[in-house]
Structure 1
Amino acid sequence: MSAPRTQVNGYGRYVGRVGALAAALGIGVMVATSPAIASADSSTSSASSKDASTTTSGGSAASQTGTDSGTQKATSSPSTNSTTAGGSAGSVATADSTDSAGADAASDSSDAGTDATAADDGTDSSTTGTGTDTTGTDTTETDATETDATDTEPTDTDTTGALTEPSQSPDTGGTTATVPESSNRPPASVTETRSTSSHPTATTETTTVPAQRAASSAPLAAAAPTDPNVTGTVTESPLAGTSSGVAATAETSSAATESTALVVPAVAAAAASTGTAGPVIGVIGFLNSVVTNLLNPFLAPAPSTPGPVTPIVWAVLGFVRRNLFNEGPTITYDPTKTSQTGQTVTGDIGAVDPEGDTVTYTVTKGPQHGTVTIDQATGHFTYTPDGIDYAGAQTDSFTVSVTDGKKNLLSFFRQPHGDQTTIDLGVRPPTAERVIVPLPPGFTNAQIPRFAADGTSLLFSATPPDAAAGARREIYQVNVDGTGLTCVTCGVVDPTPLRAGTTAPRILSKPVPFEDGSGRILMQSVDPATGAYTHVIYESDADGTRLVRVLTPAGKPGVIATDPQREMRISPDGTHVLFSQIQLVPNPSDPPGFITAVPIVGALTPGLDANGNKVYTITDARVVYPVGEGKQWTHDGKGVIILGGLYESGNVDDIVVDIATGEVTRLTGNLDYDEDADLSPNGQWLTIDSMRGLDALTPVTRIVRPAFLPLLIQGSVYTAYAGNSDAVNVSNQPWLVAVGDDLHRGDGIPLFVSDDPNTPQDEGDGWTARSMPSWNADGTEVAFWEADTTDPTGQRSRLVVAKLQYTTSVGTAADKTTPTVSSAFPTLASNTPTQVSLPPTGTYTGAGGGTAVVTETTDATTGHIVRTVLYTDYVDDEGMILNGVESTDQSAAQNTIHYIADITVTGTHTGSLTGDATINKLTRTITPTTAGSQITSTLDGDTLVLLDPARVAAAKAST
């Protein structure tokens, strides 16, 4: 028999439901002693009092999860606001929420009462009214003329294996309505996007989690069995798949007030309920859901209108709801909102707490291939992989749990008060999209672009269209899309004196913009016949536009500067310059003497020459490293990049020298030939011209060992691969690589196009990439140039911009001032160039054991220096074990070096290094002493010969 129907109007309805319970729990004492007595929860998602309906139920409470074929009977009357249900499995009506954005939406997603939507005028609909559509889409609330559910309810055909309740006994005096047992849809639902760790990619599962889940399921990690065939978001309705799978159902409310619900298959509840504690927990869970829904309205602030519920009672009931029936937070992670910047992935875990409690995130299982941090205040996470995979995407995952640190009745049964999910991640590799800068017909020899001071347009050198034979090459500026082309130097006189006996105009080349806002541009003025050059500075002001000469001070007496202003670069603040000099120290015993490069930093000081012409003079010029070529400034102006570091035998690497302290930091570590290098604005990425991938130096360098010997093969290797024209010069092809990866001998990605010798197709485009890559202002683009003398258009060269993705350079230096250059560096006027410094003689221990014994002798007659290294079980940093001898016999000025090697390799690789050849620095050649005695290495059956003619020819043909 059903209980008599009652009608409670206004706020008193809520008191009637919980008054006895409040008294039994001693609420008065709680309120009197609680600091929350005078406050009301400010959540806006509580159900409005006018929308509440009352229901009396009889019979035993039954846990309801999922959608199954069982039915229960209910009565409905359009003239009352109460519904009576009867039978062995009772149902409880809950207050429907009218706010989809509040925190109570999360609470209601875990409630289990059958939806009984009340009309605004006080007329309740049936328990199975239009709000319980089995298609998974709720309809909006209706008024008193609402159609009875029996006219609209479709037949449930779910075959998911959910539990089936026996049909209920019909109640008297009302219309019979069929209600699917799983239709316990809460008043408002929460979208939870769960990523299951059993899937290699993010899998979204949409599931309705009822409030009694603690009673009907195992801990959260086991509550929803996963289907390994589900790999994405499924938008089917009703629930599809086998009973062991979780399918996602997307619901869209016509009133736009309900988010997608998460539905746990009933089979999960059935499996869990077999435990001895299941019935007890089920009853308590059902009670928890009932009371929670009854008390939901009191989470909102007390109404300002007078009524039977006083503010103190409202606060009391709100306290009960927030504390004894506190709902745990849920995770609603949305993988579509996760983004990648550079090599960092960020996203929002999306935890929602019904009561707005402060939540705590815990990584319960960390990622395997990276690190993750979570902002406890916002729930935002940041993931960074341990390294970069330049060949393809990386995948990883981590598991996170969330809790509000509170408890409710279910906590006494060790049920979790929170949520947990596994978040799958993907990190895309760095990529580059090449753009050929369009130029009007007639331009030839467009070369060496650099981004201008505006950071977006390009400066470059080219011969003007329709120019007469021997015309001067000018400096132009153009946008990357080819628009805005202007000639910067046309009509501006070059004050550099012409070489005696010639009238041909000098070429303007290699523009380098000032970054100090002055609009000045540094460039080379080149003799077209000899290639000798000096530098001039373009400037424009109120007095006009001009080119101004740059003058260098004299060096030490007896030292000859054969190339006095090599590769000059301007400091970021425009006050100093970095350049190199090729210097000669005459030596009659080894003519012409010792030749080397020295890097120099000096102040750029304006002034007048003897004839009253404006000039820039380099003052306080200091040699900042004994040997090497200056390549570039760091973007903060505190250091300079120098190609001159000797770390591994046969190789030369880039280093950064702090000009204020003299501290040296290694920048690159690749084992092949490198040239021009430029750091990204944030200093994290490197564009570098290199022969990596061609195995130019690696026949010697891949058997890694310290630079015990003056094995100076770099000049000879460059000459062989450069050839006799830009169109075949493959020595300076641009690559992109993270600084840390280059240090660990990584290659990065090429910014040029070349043929893959391992395929029958020719992937090359016939253009050879050339040197001096340049970054734009934000590090998203790199400019360089390419040459092809067979180009049918006659242009012979072109400008290229590589647009980068997943390498975004952010966080540029704020302070770009040049510090005072350390006085510990010798002045240019006092410096005598020296041979490269080598480790002193003695015994050295390998990275993994063994010894290398270094000895040295000098021939008193010839001045030759003989240096020998004996390896005994010497284990290098890659685990190779070296045994044998290598030696050099160098002339006094190092112009010739006779190299001999006989080393066997075991350990991580098996092979050898052998050779008997003479290196000539003047002719840049390497000549074997006998046929077949070229410098050769073999590792695991792979044999490489230094300067193998066939390999060199193949490299030049690969463009």
Structure 2
Amino acid sequence: MFYFVKTNAMAIGLIAVSVSTVLASTSIPDPPSPEPVSITALPLPPVVSSNSTGACSKEINPNGTGCIANGVFNTFQSGDFLPDGKHVLAQVTFVGAPDAPDSASIYSGMHVILVKADDTTFHNGDPWKCVTCGVPAENAVGIDNAQYYYPQAFRDGSRLLIGKNVLDCGPHQVASEECTPNNTFIYPLYWGVTADGSGATGALREQRLHPDNTHIEFSAFTFSDGVLGELAYFARIRFNPSPNTGIPLAPRYDVVNVTGLYSTEEPAFMSVVDGNRLAINYSAITVGESRGFNGDGSEITYIGNSWESCNVDVFAVHLTTGAVRRLTDNPEYCDPVAFSPDNKWIAIMDTRGSGRQMFIAGMRGIPPLVDIVASVLPSSTRNNGVRRFFEPYLLDFYGDHGAYNGQRIIQDRVYGFKYVNDSNNGVPGSGSISDPEWNGMADPRWSLDSTRLVFWQTHTTSPTSPNCGGTNPLPCYPSKEPGGRDYRLYVATFTSRKPSLPVPVSEHDDVIPWGTPYVPGSAVPKSDRLASGIYTLHGKASGYATVNLTWGNTTSQIGTVSVEYRNCSDDGHSYLNGHERVAASVANVYVFSFDWYSDLTQSGSVNATKKTGPSGYQATINVEANVLTSNGSLTTTVDGVEWTSPLSGT
């Protein structure tokens, strides 16, 4: 996945404001009390280490229902609950199947399974069932089966959104015994991107199903000014049994009435007014990568432009009014986000608590000025290869507010609860639910009654990769999961809750008033950017910042931003002084380098510094692999607590 692109977006200046302003008409309630949580591991098919024909023997799986591959990349991903709350979806990779005509030969390659979440089994005794295995080729013409990522359930219980396809079992529930391969159909999604309707589908990604089950949101890559970016879209999906244009000419779900979640007509997030005065428009909608919908489908969630320097957050924008809420404001990195169906809760995956991003984002209230060229770095350092620093957190509907930063779901040391499934209290290598060598992954998903949350973790592995071992001082530990499996699936139950009904969901209008109707064949709009020059940004309460922006004049040079702060303050309580300079360059579409110098001081209600070493901080990041190489140091100290940039490969 390409994490750095998520904040690169078109800006729309509407009525976007902070959560406190959006909700001014109704006061934000006090933060909720922490809830007791019970966490249960769900069973998965057995792991086999070989992909040789027949390696998945009856000794390993007596029922002949497949073995799955190990590893942490493109092998597994958890998905949705089915509407009944008794089953969880997952994408798996089957390996080692025997040759046909053996009945077990169908358990090969990428597939979607149902996993029992109620301690029962299917009729054959397995707690899982493959729903894509054995589907006849004539029932799945033109599908994209390279990945069935983010498997999601329609609320009718008979259809699934699996990657770029829709699985349909007709009148039968997917979990029922009547849903067999022969009466299962898989239809591809088709997004027409040519003026005459010819050709293959557009390259849509990160699809999320709207709660009305007739619309989706998705994202698509862009490439402009040497930087890979991303735009988001909202669209209706409509079954087309006999298309006469486009590929494939087979039954499919057409992605129609598409609206780009951007506009070229409105003011940008950052603009110049009154000569050389710089203005930051916090009322701008800047949808980079869309991440889903709230419980009633009235809002779409997304990663957008940072409101504070190097602080990547999640926002929600109302699809009709354009009102924006900043859902998270913790200096750590947040990305996966899921609203509960009753629209009262938000589950996120976040690096908060790990300290991973504090070296670059820990000083609060810095305007996002060096981010003009440097946003790639903070949105990529949150990972080290496939090693992530995510943990699942629970927030109320309002997100972060005041001193409330949510409840960490799987570690008792935060709120003093003793989780019934964890007696090791975060011991590395213990294999416990809170073992820090296990990493949270995208996406968490809610049960329809909002009492349970499914999520998954991967294990820090391999001394030959940057995750641990070798030149990395972090040790590797063997997995204690069955078969040494390096991923695991969990359900967190909020035991004090009573089941609640989903909020009513109306079918959403196709028109997004603040968006731009997509015209197939049209050029991708380019985001306006500031011209090279010297600008002044005034603090809301006092002081100012002098900003010198110079764009590069070669394909490898992105640009340089230098900022001098003089008693700059937005809140009138903390004051920023000093300077910061970042030069950014790109070797290719994936590899970015930064020459970073900081000497910032914050005084008043907070005493903080952000400083580089004598030779600065030089960082190169491969944003495809999220592998960091660096020299020098960047250190942030807040009220005596110090965070230093991670070493190369860690």
1:614 aligns with one of 239, 242, 251: 251
Alignment partner, residue 793 of structure 1: 482
1:889 aligns with one of 583, 599, 607: 583
1:782 maps onto 2:453 in alignment: yes
Distance 2:232 2:289 in 1: 5
What's the Cα RMSD here?
A: 4.0
1:544 maps onto 2:183 in alignment: yes
1:513 maps onto 2:210 in alignment: no
Q: CA deviation at 1:901?
A: 1.8
Secondary structure at the counterpart of residue 678 of structure 1 = strand
Matches within 5 A, 1:26-175: none
Q: CA deviation at 1:573?
A: 1.7
Q: Residue 624 of structure 1 contacts residue 659 of structure 1 at CA under 8 Å; is this kept in 2?
A: no
Count of residue pairs the alignment pairs up: 499
Q: CA deviation at 1:850?
A: 2.8
Q: CA deviation at 1:842?
A: 5.0
1:730 aligns with one of 385, 388, 398: 388
My pick for the range that moved more, 561-570 or 658-667, is 561-570
Q: Residue 380 of structure 2 contacts residue 621 of structure 2 at CA under 8 Å; is this kept in 1?
A: no
1:568 maps onto 2:207 in alignment: yes
Q: Please say which structure displays the higher CA radius of gyration.
A: 1
1:943 aligns with one of 629, 636, 642: 642
TM-score normalized by the length of structure 2 = 0.66
1:629 aligns with one of 267, 282, 289: 289
Secondary structure at the counterpart of residue 398 of structure 2 = helix
Matches within 5 A, 1:441-480: 442=61, 444=68, 447-463=77-93, 467-468=97-98, 471-480=108-117
Q: Residue 327 of structure 2 contacts residue 399 of structure 2 at CA under 8 Å; is this kept in 1?
A: no
Closer, same or farther: CA 513–786 of 1 in aligned 2, 3 Å: same
Closer, same or farther: CA 741–600 of 1 in aligned 2, 3 Å: closer
Distance 1:386 1:882 in 2: 32
Distance 1:884 1:555 in 2: 51
2:407 aligns with one of 728, 749, 752: 749
Matches within 5 A, 1:349-428: 387-388=30-31
1:669 maps onto 2:329 in alignment: yes
Alignment partner, residue 51 of structure 1: none
Secondary structure at the counterpart of residue 316 of structure 2 = strand
Alignment partner, residue 348 of structure 2: 688
User: Per-residue displacement from partner, 1:892-913 (whole Å, max 9, x unpaired)?
Assistant: 9995554332212222333421
Closer, same or farther: CA 808–944 of 1 in aligned 2, 3 Å: farther
Distance 1:665 1:386 in 2: 16
Q: Residue 472 of structure 1 contacts residue 507 of structure 1 at CA under 8 Å; is this kept in 2?
A: no
Secondary structure at the counterpart of residue 886 of structure 1 = strand
Alignment partner, residue 879 of structure 1: 573
Kindly provide the amino acid, as one letter, of the partner of residue 769 in structure 1.
Answer: G
Q: Residue 372 of structure 2 contacts residue 561 of structure 2 at CA under 8 Å; is this kept in 1?
A: no
Closer, same or farther: CA 864–569 of 1 in aligned 2, 3 Å: closer
Q: CA deviation at 1:770?
A: 2.2
Q: Looking at secondary structure, tell me which structure has more helix per residue.
A: 1
Distance 1:838 1:805 in 2: 52
Distance 2:92 2:550 in 1: 53
1:851 maps onto 2:544 in alignment: yes
Q: CA deviation at 1:779?
A: 1.3
User: Per-residue displacement from partner, 1:525-552 (whole Å, max 9, x unpaired)?
Assistant: xxxxxxxxx4343342499321001112
Alignment partner, residue 436 of structure 1: 41
Q: Residue 498 of structure 1 contacts residue 506 of structure 1 at CA under 8 Å; is this kept in 2?
A: no
Q: Residue 315 of structure 2 contacts residue 328 of structure 2 at CA under 8 Å; is this kept in 1?
A: yes
Distance 2:457 2:359 in 1: 28
Closer, same or farther: CA 614–639 of 1 in aligned 2, 3 Å: same
Q: Residue 655 of structure 1 contacts residue 668 of structure 1 at CA under 8 Å; is this kept in 2?
A: yes
Q: CA deviation at 1:386?
A: 5.7
Q: Residue 192 of structure 2 contacts residue 202 of structure 2 at CA under 8 Å; is this kept in 1?
A: no
1:490 maps onto 2:140 in alignment: no
Secondary structure at the counterpart of residue 700 of structure 1 = helix
Distance 2:503 2:431 in 1: 38
Q: Residue 451 of structure 2 contacts residue 494 of structure 2 at CA under 8 Å; is this kept in 1?
A: yes
Identity %: 23
| Unmatched segments (≥5 aa) in structure 2 | 1-26, 47-60, 62-66, 70-75, 99-104, 123-128, 173-181, 263-285, 415-423, 462-478
Q: CA deviation at 1:567?
A: 1.5
Q: CA deviation at 1:584?
A: 2.3
Distance 1:563 1:943 in 2: 47
Greater length-normalized contact order (CA 8 Å, ≥ 6 residues apart):
2
Secondary structure at the counterpart of residue 740 of structure 1 = coil
Closer, same or farther: CA 733–878 of 1 in aligned 2, 3 Å: farther
My pick for the range that moved more, 716-725 or 909-918, is 716-725
Alignment partner, residue 610 of structure 2: 913
Kindly provide the amino acid, as one letter, of the partner of residue 655 in structure 1.
Answer: F
| Unmatched segments (≥5 aa) in structure 1 | 1-383, 390-427, 500-504, 525-533, 588-592, 954-959
Matches within 5 A, 1:678-717: 678-704=338-364, 705-710=366-371, 716=377
TM-score normalized by the length of structure 1 = 0.46
Q: CA deviation at 1:657?
A: 2.3
Q: Looking at secondary structure, tell me which structure has more strand per residue.
A: 2
Q: Residue 547 of structure 2 contacts residue 564 of structure 2 at CA under 8 Å; is this kept in 1?
A: yes
